[in-house]
Amino acid sequence: MSTAGQVIRCKAAVAWEAGKPLSIETIEVAPPQKHEVRIKILFTALCHTDIYYWECKGYTPLFPRILGHEASGIVESVGEGVTDLQPGDHVLPIFTGECKECKHCLSEESNNMCDLLRINCDRGVMLADGKTRFSINGQPIYHFVGTSTFSQYTVVHVGQVAKINPNAPLDKVCPISCGICTGFGATVNVAKPKKGQTVAIFGLGAVGLAAAEGARVCGASRIIAVDLNPKRFEEAKKFGITEFVNPNDYNKPVQEVIVEMTGGGVDRSVECTGSVQAMISAFECVHDGWGVCVLVGVPKIDDAFKTHPMNLLSERTLKGAFYGNYKPRTDIPLVVDKYLNKELGLDMDKFITHSVPFAEINKAFDLMLKGIGLRCMIHLDA
């Protein structure tokens, strides 16, 4: 029986206030409006960005809210004006969008800075009418980055939906919608290490290990990991890491340690922590003359990046990378196809270390807060 055009009642994990466990509630999900798509979410995973906005330390509180943005599912219905998606399509909702009409989307030099659909963590409503599509007994529930995937059904702007090959296993490709592409693309598309070069990866979460996988695929001769958690080092070897540095083990800046280890600095570095000190270290550890540092982690709102201008004048390059430099609607379907054809060299099973039914979603939070595992797959039908 078709549910198109009707309000759907389903389960969602609602954050009622900062830092408190999510509550599984029965909510109402309104039909999609113009340029919107309603998606049945089958799998979702927890990302550090969800944690940051759930804790609300240094961010604008907006509750009650349905978090979640790394997910996969199937289109249930589409709103007016949606022509390139239809019910039954397999999709990945993406936290940032591609309208295909603005100057960024049309530019060959800008991949995902869409004027209309660029990530906005503070907006909790839909663009079409400034209202939410979620409610509980008439009380609005706010959206998160336009995706809100901690719900069995969600409504997303069509520009934030990537249609993918229906043969792709939705649980395996779920992390492509955020963490994997963010890290892997930062290395492959932005840092672009050459075969035989050295690469330093700052941070060994899922994004950092995806960046390490990118360095391995590019043929890096040495991949040096920097992390404060020594428990992550052994597991990281599976992702191509060859050496490990814990800044706490030294009485001098870690960039100096890496420069000494490599005889002048690494050829490329990718920072995936969001710590401004790690960003500075990642930049100052690259070799003068040709070294390239790529920043991926999101800093706190009041952070300031400080380095001596001579570090730039010595022909080091500092770059930023957002979502791995991929266009959400154009590139992500191709990434999934390459994964299916084994052309990426990525083993998604290595990233999915835990799995829980939807009712136990708070276990995923506990695991991430304790630094255990990489991605915890949450089964919304279970």
- Residue 261: its H or E element: helix 254-262
Answer for the pair 291, 266: CB distance below 8 angstroms, yes or no: yes
Structure tokens at 200: 């330093």
Answer for the pair 327, 112: CB distance below 8 angstroms, yes or no: yes
Surface-to-core class of residue 252, CB atoms within 10 Å of its CB (0-12 exposed, 13-18 middle, 19+ buried): exposed
Annotation marks residue 375 as catalytic? yes
Structure tokens at 184: 């892997």
Annotation marks residue 232 as catalytic? no
Backbone angles phi, psi at 323, to 5 degrees: 50, 40
Q: Catalytic pick from 99, 218, 272, 285? A: 99
Q: Quick: pLDDT tens for 16-71.
A: 999 999 999 999 999 999 999 999 999 999 999 999 999 998 778 999 999 999 99
What is the distance of C-alpha 10 from the center of its chain? 26
Query: Smallest Cα–Cα separation from 37: which of 140, 119, 167, 126?
Result: 126
Surface-to-core class of residue 49, CB atoms within 10 Å of its CB (0-12 exposed, 13-18 middle, 19+ buried): buried
Q: Catalytic pick from 65, 114, 154, 329? A: 114
Q: Catalytic pick from 25, 36, 70, 213? A: 70
Amino acid in the structure at residue 6: Q
Amino acid in the structure at residue 217: V
Annotation marks residue 10 as catalytic? no
Q: Quick: pLDDT tens for 119-178.
A: 999 999 999 999 999 999 999 999 999 999 999 999 999 999 999 999 999 999 999 999
Amino acid in the structure at residue 131: K
Give the pLDDT confidence score for residue 116 in this predicted structure: 97
Q: Catalytic pick from 105, 181, 272, 293? A: 105
Give the pLDDT confidence score for residue 57 in this predicted structure: 80
- Counting every residue written for the chain, the total comes to 382
| Buried/exposed code over 335-365 (b: 16+ C-beta within 10 A; e: otherwise) | bbeebbeeebebebebbbebbbebeebeebb
Annotation marks residue 114 as catalytic? yes
Annotation marks residue 178 as catalytic? yes
User: CA–CA separation, 373 vs 321, rounded Å?
Assistant: 24
Amino acid in the structure at residue 108: E
Annotation marks residue 48 as catalytic? yes
Answer for the pair 184, 85: CB distance below 8 angstroms, yes or no: no
Q: Catalytic pick from 3, 10, 56, 118? A: 118
Amino acid in the structure at residue 277: Q
User: CA–CA separation, 160 vs 81, rounded Å?
Assistant: 15
Give the pLDDT confidence score for residue 60 in this predicted structure: 84
3-state secondary structure of 295: strand
Query: Smallest Cα–Cα separation from 297: which of 310, 278, 318, 316?
Result: 278
Q: Quick: pLDDT tens for 213-243.
A: 999 999 999 999 999 999 899 999 999 999 9
pLDDT cut 70: percent of the chain above it: 100
Give the pLDDT confidence score for residue 301 in this predicted structure: 82
Annotation marks residue 69 as catalytic? yes
Amino acid in the structure at residue 341: N
Backbone angles phi, psi at 125, to 5 degrees: -130, 170
> Would you tell me how many other CB atoms lie within 10 Å of the CB of residue 275?
18
3-state secondary structure of 377: strand
Q: Catalytic pick from 178, 181, 285, 293? A: 178
Annotation marks residue 47 as catalytic? yes
Amino acid in the structure at residue 121: C
* Out of 143-157, 239-253, 285-299, 368-382, least confident range: 368-382
Sheet order of strands, 8-14 included: 8-14, 23-29, 134-136, 139-141
Give the pLDDT confidence score for residue 83 in this predicted structure: 97
Amino acid in the structure at residue 18: A
Annotation marks residue 218 as catalytic? no
Surface-to-core class of residue 310, CB atoms within 10 Å of its CB (0-12 exposed, 13-18 middle, 19+ buried): exposed
Q: What is the DSSP string of 123-170?
A: --S-TTTS--SEEETTEEEB-STTT--SBSEEEEEGGGEEE--TTS-H
| Buried/exposed code over 15-30 (b: 16+ C-beta within 10 A; e: otherwise) | beeeeeebebbebbbb
